[in-house]
Structures are given as C-alpha cells and as structure tokens.
C-alpha cells in the first residue's frame, strides 16, 4: 500500500492537498453530465481516483510515524479498508477533530478516522459508521491531590473537557442530576492536551476514555482515575451525509474486522510494559471455545464475593488458560492453579473441580483485597491485591515498605510495581522482614491479568452479562453498541 502524504500538518495542509482531489471529482462529474447521471457516490470517486482519502489526527490514538513507518490503530484500520476496496489509502493529518469533520463534510476527504466519538453535535455535521469500539469515561486527577469520590465531591477543583466532545456531553448529562458540578469546555484542544494540563497543574481534573488514559500511563504515572462517569462513548468513522452505499460498505468492513480488534486495541492502547498483544488472538479464540464452559462458575463466584467476574476470568486465564486439568511442575493445579495449602485453607476439596477452584481463587483474592489498607483507592487496590494473590501478602507488604523507604507512594500500584523486582536484589531484600522474593513475577502477573482484563472488558463490557457465544463473538462489541 502506498504511504501517507505526510506526517505533520493541519487543516491548511489538508486544504492545500485537496485541490487535485476536487479536480478529479469534478472531472468525473463533468464526464457524467452528458449522460444525465447523478453525482458519483464516494465509492465511485474512490474507484476513479484509485485512492481512499482519510482525514485523521497526527497523534498516538490515530496515526503517527513509528519506528518502521506509519502506524496507529486508525492507520491500520483505514489501510485495511482501502485494501478491501482495491485502492491505497492516503492519510491527511489535521490539527483537531473539528477539522477532520470539516474535511469530510466538505468533500476534501472520503472518511474521517481519528478516534472520533459519536456525539449529537457532531451528528449534525456528518454521518457516522457503526461503532467499532466502546469506551468507559473516567474522571482523571493527579494522585498527589485529594481524590474526588464522585460528581458531588468536586468542590472547587477545576474541570476542563474538549468542547463539543462526548466527554462534554457526558458531563452535561451528569450536571442535570448534580447541579453543583461545573466544568469548562475548551475549544482547540484534545484530550491528550488536557491530560498534560492536569499533569502540569494547569487543570485539577479532566475526562478521558480508557484508550486515552492508557496512552498516558507510561509517561504520566502521576495521573489516576478518580471515578467513572455513567455510560459509554462509542468510537466510529465520520462519513459524508447522504451516502448509504459507503456507510454499508464501512459497516460491513467493521463486522468482518471484529475478530482482530482485541489484538489491535491491546497493541496500541495497552502500555508496552504490561501486555503481550500477540497473545490476544489466542485469548479471543479461547473466549469462544473454553470460556463458555466456565462462565457460570466465574459469575457465581463474582456474585458471592462482590467481584467483577472478568477479573476472576482474567486470573484464571493467566494461571491455566482456562484448563481445569492444568497441573504445574510445582504441583499447583486447576483453573486457578491453587497450591494444596491454599486450597485447604480456602476449604477446597478438589482443585481439579472447576467450580471449586474458581470459588477458592475468588475467596483468596477477597482475602488479599480485604488485607489492603482501606485508604487505598481503586483501581490501585485491585492491582495490589492481584500482586498479593501471586506473591503472598507478606512479600507485597515488604514491597510497599521498600516503596515508602525510596520516597514513593506505597498506596500507588505504579510505585509498588517499580519496587517489586527489587525484592530479588540482595542489597534490598536483606533489609526486609521476609527476605528474598521473585518480585518481578508478581509484577508480570498483574501486567498480564490487566492485559487480559482489557480484552475481556472490550468483549463483554457489562459485568453481569455473559461473554458472547462462539457464533457471534466476532461482532459482540458492535452488537452491544447498536
């Protein structure tokens, strides 16, 4: 496939490069005038031009230059769509979501692929494809500032969101029920800009979806989720109004692409240090052929211990790949790979019994979570409990003590994660109560569980709902979005 026209630029650059496109479309139109044919649709324009013009953003959420050339989730998807049409993709970077919409609405681009969320305001300007992903919305703050616990606990904290965005719409909806909630809509910015402003202190809080927050976690570890806003936002491509043939073709493409989406999402949005995205395809297959036999056990244990079934399922996948007959060389066995001692302590008689194993793992996780100090907020509390599940609470406590000794926050998973590998270094473990531990394994365990949880969260976003059956797993997320 042909490469992009450039890696930087904005609306002016897009407008400058649009004139050959306009001339080509005009030539097609003139050629058809003599036959009294209607104005050609976008698919016909693409065929005549031999290229798909894609309005996008030059950022890590959409399109950027990677180590080996152009990359990004939208780059991959739009390139695949162009190949399905038998043409190459030409990417036109713009400097804001509004400029992307303008390019599509004015005919300078055939589609807008830029991590766009569907909003009523934007639907008045362009059409949208069926959603290809749904995202939770989080209120983000710095961990070294007091954490607001909900919309009614914002006080005097400044809250800024992108003007006209799904985030602004979600906050407006919340404000109807919580009149004391106030926020500022900021034009000419995107969410990554606002996350930077929270990091450097210009704003106290902002709203970001799961993807956007994931992109910042490696280089802004000070940011954390305070609470979630109700509902979801839905990501889709912007399309010209009045072209049902193009919309049908794009929707068909997204349905066909669903089996690959978890791996693509994990590749671009999971932090690089915590998830091997190449395993996502295997996980999706196992969601279809292994999880259905276990899903009722995971949900039953989740109800009993007030847990999200997907957390339990992610642990089970990390431990055994959902194989009830799994046995390790060290003698741990079953779906949750419990030791004989742990199984006995949890009242489990048969570790090979899937229901018993899952219940035992859920009870053990609850015990670890209950031991974490109450002051530790979510999601750090869960990640610390997962580390204790793997390494034992005593070694986790050693890691937290070491974290505090190093001048960091023992209640922050990010800080404790950095300390865990130090438990295997003599100069550190000889100072700790419980001595040597394979701390890097606990860090990796949590990394992998979080990666599997990301995919399960995408496949089945409702904690009370079962994962999709094998027959419709490929279209599960899009079906939910409908």
Domain interval for residue 350: 279-481
One domain for residues 210 and 112 = no
Mean pLDDT by 10 residues, the chain (482 residues): 36 40 47 53 94 89 64 90 96 89 96 93 93 93 92 92 87 89 85 86 93 73 89 93 95 93 75 50 83 94 93 94 82 87 90 95 95 92 94 92 96 94 77 82 90 74 53 32 30
For the whole model, what pTM was predicted? 0.52
One domain for residues 117 and 260 = yes
Is 120 a member of any domain?
yes
Q: How far apart are CA 459 and CA 136, in angstroms?
A: 13
One domain for residues 357 and 416 = yes
Which residues does the annotation mark as catalytic?
319
Residue 330: burial class (beta carbons within 10 Å; 0-12, 13-18, 19+) = exposed
Is 305 a member of any domain?
yes
One domain for residues 122 and 153 = no
One domain for residues 170 and 24 = no
One domain for residues 126 and 137 = no
Angle value at C-alpha 371, between 370 and 375, nearest 5 degrees: 80
SS3 402: helix
One domain for residues 302 and 358 = yes
* pLDDT value for 279: 63
Strand bridging mode 205-209 / 159-162: parallel
Is 51 a member of any domain?
yes
* pLDDT value for 69: 53
One domain for residues 320 and 432 = yes
* pLDDT value for 17: 42
Last residue of a domain, one of 236, 256, 291: 236
Q: How many helices (H) and strands (E) does the chain have?
A: 21, 11
* pLDDT value for 259: 87
Q: How far apart are CA 170 and CA 60, in angstroms?
A: 24
- Where residue 137 sits, what CATH number does that domain have? 3.40.190.10
Last residue of a domain, one of 180, 213, 236: 236
* pLDDT value for 280: 63
> How many domains are there within the chain?
3
One domain for residues 17 and 52 = yes
Give the total residue count for the chain.
482
One domain for residues 313 and 461 = yes
One domain for residues 179 and 99 = no
One domain for residues 47 and 195 = no
> Are the CB atoms for 230 and 173 separated by under 8 Å?
yes
Is 410 a member of any domain?
yes
């Amino acid at each position: 496939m042909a490469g992009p026209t450039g890696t930087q630029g904005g609306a002016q650059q897009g407008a400058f490069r649009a004139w050959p496109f306009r001339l080509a479309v005009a030539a097609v139109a003139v050629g058809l005038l003599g036959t009294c044919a209607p104005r050609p649709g976008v698919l016909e324009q693409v065929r005549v031009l031999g290229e798909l013009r894609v309005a996008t953003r030059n950022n890590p959420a959409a399109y950027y230059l990677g180590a080996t050339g152009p990359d990004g989730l939208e780059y991959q998807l739009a390139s695949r769509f162009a190949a399905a049409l038998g043409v190459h993709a030409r990417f036109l970077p713009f400097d804001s979501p509004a400029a992307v919409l303008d390019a599509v609405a004015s005919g300078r681009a055939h589609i807008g692929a830029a991590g766009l969320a569907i909003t009523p305001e934007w639907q008045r300007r362009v059409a949208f494809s069926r959603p290809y992903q749904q995202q939770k919305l989080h209120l983000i703050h710095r961990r070294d500032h007091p954490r607001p616990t909900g919309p009614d606990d914002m006080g005097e904290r400044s809250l800024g969101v992108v003007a006209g965005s799904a985030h602004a719409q979600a906050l407006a909806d919340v404000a109807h029920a919580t009149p004391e909630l106030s926020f500022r809509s900021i034009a000419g910015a995107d969410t990554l800009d606002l996350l930077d402003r929270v990091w450097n202190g210009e704003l106290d809080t902002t709203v970001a979806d799961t993807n956007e927050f994931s992109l910042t976690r490696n280089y802004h570890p000070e940011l954390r989720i305070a609470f979630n806003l109700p509902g979801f936002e839905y990501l889709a491509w912007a399309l010209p109004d009045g072209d049902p043939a193009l919309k049908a073709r794009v929707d068909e493409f997204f349905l066909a692409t669903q089996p690959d989406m978890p791996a693509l999402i994990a590749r671009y949005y999971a932090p690089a240090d915590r998830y091997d995205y190449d395993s996502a395809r295997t996980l999706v297959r196992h969601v279809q052929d292994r999880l259905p036999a276990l899903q009722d056990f995971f949900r039953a244990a989740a109800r009993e211990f007030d847990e999200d079934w997907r957390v339990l399922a992610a642990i089970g996948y990390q431990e055994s790949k959902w194989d009830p007959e799994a046995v390790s060389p060290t003698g741990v066995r079953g779906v949750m790979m419990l030791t004989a001692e742990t199984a006995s302590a949890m009242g489990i008689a048969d570790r090979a019994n899937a229901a018993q194993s899952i219940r035992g793992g859920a009870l053990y996780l609850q015990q670890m979570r209950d031991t974490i100090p109450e002051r530790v907020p979510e999601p750090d509390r869960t990640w610390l409990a997962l580390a204790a599940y793997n390494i034992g609470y005593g070694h986790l406590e050693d890691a937290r003590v070491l974290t505090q000794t190093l001048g960091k926050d023992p209640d922050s998973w990010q800080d404790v994660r950095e300390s865990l590998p130090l438990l295997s270094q003599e100069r550190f473990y000889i100072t700790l109560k419980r001595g040597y531990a394979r701390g890097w394994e606990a860090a990796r365990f949590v990394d992998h569980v979080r990666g599997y949880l990301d995919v399960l969260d995408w496949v089945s976003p409702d904690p009370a709902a079962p994962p999709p059956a094998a027959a419709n797993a490929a279209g599960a997320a899009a079906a939910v979005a409908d």
